Amino acid sequence: MTAPRDKSYEDSLLQSLQDPAEAAAYIDAVLETGDQAALLLALRQVAGAHGMAEVARRAELGEKTLFKSLAEEGNPTLATLTSVLNAVGLRLTVTPAHS
C-alpha cells in the first residue's frame, strides 16, 4: 500500500526552481551533460517556475519568441539566453573546464 501523494513531482520541481540557487545548480548540472535538448527543457522548467508570461515581460521578449526559443527544437540566441536567465535572477558565467 502506498501513501497518496499530495504534490506531484512537477509541482515540487517548479516550486524549488523559484529559488535562484536551486535553479542555478539545476541548470549547471544539465550543462555538464552537454545535451542541448535537456538544457532547453531545464530552461523551460525554470522559466515556467517563474511564469512564462512574466519571464517574457522581464526579458523584453514576446511570449511566442520565448516559447519558440525554448522549445525542444529551439535554438535561442545568446542575447535571448542571457535575457531569460536575467529575468529569473541568474546570469551566465564561464569557469575553467578542468580545475
Does residue 4 sit within a domain? no
Please check whether residue 47 is in contact with residue 88, taking contact to mean a CB–CB distance below 8 angstroms: yes
| 45 close to 12: Cβ distance less than 8 angstroms | no
Query: In angstroms, rounded to a whole number, what is the distance separating the alpha carbons of residues 35 and 88?
Result: 21
pLDDT, tens digit, 9 for 90 and up, residues 49-88: 999 999 999 999 999 999 999 999 999 999 999 999 999 9
Per-residue confidence band for 3, with pLDDT thresholds at 50, 70 and 90 = low
Q: Is the pTM of this model over 0.75?
A: yes
Domain-embedded: residue 17:
yes
Domain enclosing residue 56, as ranges: 9-87
Task: Provide the domain count of the chain.
Answer: 1
Residue 35 lies in a domain: yes
